[in-house]
Amino acid sequence: MRKLFIAILMIVSMTASAAVDENFYIFLCFGQSNMEGNARPEAQDLVSPGPRFLLMPAVDDPQRGRKMGEWCEAVPPLCRPNTGLTPADWFGRTLVASLPENIKIGVIHVAIGGIDIKGFLPDSIDSYVKRAPGWMKGMLEAYDNNPYKRLVTLAKKAQKDGVIKGILMHQGETNTGDPKWAGMVKQVYDNLCADLKLKPEEVNLYAGNIVQAGGKGVCIGCKKQIDELPLTLHTSQVISSDDCTNGPDRLHFDAAGYRELGCRYGEAVARFLGYEPVRPHIDMPKKIEVPADAFIAETTVPGNEFPKVDKEGRAYFRIEAPQARKVVLDICNKKYDMIPDGKGAHLAVTDPLPVGFHYYFMNIGGVNFIDPATETFFGCNREAGGIEIPEGAEGDYYRPQQSVPAGQVRSIYYFSKEQNTWRHAMVYTPAEYELKKYKKKRYPVLYLQHGMGEDETGWSKQGHMQHIMDNAIASGEAVPMIVVMESGDIKAPFNFAGGGSNRQGESQYGASFYPVLLNDLIPYIDANFRTKTDRDNRAMAGLSWGGHQTFDVVLNNLDKFAWLGTFSGAIFGLDVKTAYNGVFANADEFNKKIHYMYMNWGSDDFIKSGDIVKALRELGVKVDANESKGTAHEWLTWRRGLKEFIPHLFK
């Protein structure tokens, strides 16, 4: 019986011994926040390296189905559920790429942000836990207030599956300037070797250096003591952090920095094991080079260096968003992924943009927001960022000129009896309006409307209407006039999905403005400004949906208006023979009442008026028209339209 028992013990012993895979290399990882992982993993970090790189979790992670002490594929986070990318992630990937395919890599990862090296010394841990700061207590509790014991307990379990081949450490920032630090690191190492029966000559300690940040790292004083660690512990090897990129706090690496440092850990271990290191593929961030001749856009808020524009019309954008995993730039119907610079900022460069003004947004997590470095403009049914891509000298007509007297754009409030509320409008008065010699002069009025999703400030902010007027009046091309701009009740979007008609003359969108204009605004302007009040001295024009409104108002009120213009007018479903009670049918009568009618659109516009112009001319209606070359549904089209329209007014 005794012989049988001994035989059974021998068989069990042999079976247990056989369970240890000599080709399963295990590494212990410990330290503080840079080993814990501070950067958010990016897409390439979250792709599983496969079954050759495994993690034995040191804590449970129910969300990912991980249980403490049970091997799983090593996908971040390796430390605890809410930690980030660590050097160990790309350390393991580097070894998988460098070592033969029959070798597996396993890591056990215990780290606590801000922990002193004493937190890994068995004879110090109890007192350390008692005086630990409040923010650290939860992390300590995750390891039952003894991170060293958790590491050793799991390491012993792992030794039943494989062989411990090294110890990775990243710690020291908390002990910056501590002359006893190296000695305490040696104590931790010696304890691990003793408790796990490791041979020091076969199991190195690999110590990563701190964030340097070009010599401005918060704990840069720690670099020297880490560099000198091999003088105290001859089986240690320091992993350089030279040129490893960092986050904006200059204390933690960014994702690219963790990848680089992790690869260096892996290369050092591969060489020690006798293999030629092979780096895994890493998607390197694209570097955006801003040309020296790029200039700050005129729409940039003073004090900012971006947005910029180069001579090819490319725009360069930059935003500080250190916690953002992905930032998207949305401009001119194209989205650009912004590139992290490794220092907390994201940058983007666009394709060459058309000259003129363009709205744009930035986006994080699906939410559009305004670039804080740009002036804001009301467009797209909300406040938006905007950038001006300058024309050459041909754009001088919408720029202020030093020799040209400047008119005023006034912000006024008036009470609407139609809606029983106060409303806001912008009013342009020509330069001469304030001069004493013209104090009795009265002026014709142009009512000028913006487009859908914009507001009454659009023509003066985005359109530079006042400069167009000043320059045209000064050159004698246009007569001095007053220009009135109102919101028109079209700041909110048209509800296409709600079944409302957008056919000319039938849409209710913006129609609430018509009685306000006729019964409140025009009487207010005539009562408070020196205007000519007859129809021959009143014009109306509008861009996009403002053109739609212009048709509705003027063609139903020919007793009040004698001049008509649209710029990319949103005029749909128009039967010129029957529209507006057949107003176009008698061309001779119409031509007598409307002294000048003008329509323009862009060559790349999605709203064009060419067919309407052709149909009107076939009826004998006099209509002037022009297609803006190289522009779309945008402010440059409408600036050009206004410039061409106003010289014909009130003459």
Active-site residue list = 33, 249, 252
- Per the structure block, which two tokens stand in for 17? 């011994």
The sheet carrying 308-309 orders its strands as: 295-296, 308-309, 315-320, 345-349, 339-340
List, as one string, the DSSP characters of 51-87: TTEEEE-SS-BGGGTB-TTS-EE--S-SSSTT--B-H
Residue 545 host element (H or E): helix 545-555
C-alpha to C-alpha distance for 531 and 521, rounded to whole angstroms: 13
Residue given tokens 């040696």 in the structure block: 186
Q: What angle do CA 480, 404, 484 make, to 5 degrees?
A: 35
Q: Are 149 and 202 in contact (CB under 8 A)?
A: no
Instruction: Please tell me whether residue 91 adopts helix, strand or coil conformation.
Output: helix
Q: Are 352 and 332 in contact (CB under 8 A)?
A: no
Sign of CA dihedral 183, 185, 188, 192: negative
Q: What are phi and psi of 613, to 5 degrees?
A: -60, -45
Neighbours of 191 (CB within 10 A): 16
List, as one string, the DSSP characters of 270-287: HHHTT----PPP--PPPP
- Per the structure block, which two tokens stand in for 285? 């961030």
List, as one string, the DSSP characters of 104-140: EEEEEEEE-TT--GGGG-TTTHHHHHHH--HHHHHHH
C-alpha to C-alpha distance for 122 and 502, rounded to whole angstroms: 78
Q: Which of 378, 346, 471 is nearest to 42 (CA)?
A: 346
Q: What angle do CA 579, 584, 586 make, to 5 degrees?
A: 130
Q: Is 606 left (phi over 0), alpha (psi -120 to 50) or beta?
A: alpha
Q: Are 498 and 542 in contact (CB under 8 A)?
A: no
- Alpha carbon of 637 to those of 108, 352, 483, 548, 644: distances in Å? 64, 18, 19, 17, 11
With a CB cutoff of 8 Å and minimum separation 6, the contacts of 554 are 540, 561, 564, 594
- Per the structure block, which two tokens stand in for 630? 């190289």
Residue 368 host element (H or E): strand 367-369
**DSSP β-bridge partners for residue 239:** 208
Residue 320 host element (H or E): strand 315-320
- Per the structure block, which two tokens stand in for 283? 């998607």
C-alpha to C-alpha distance for 99 and 272, rounded to whole angstroms: 12
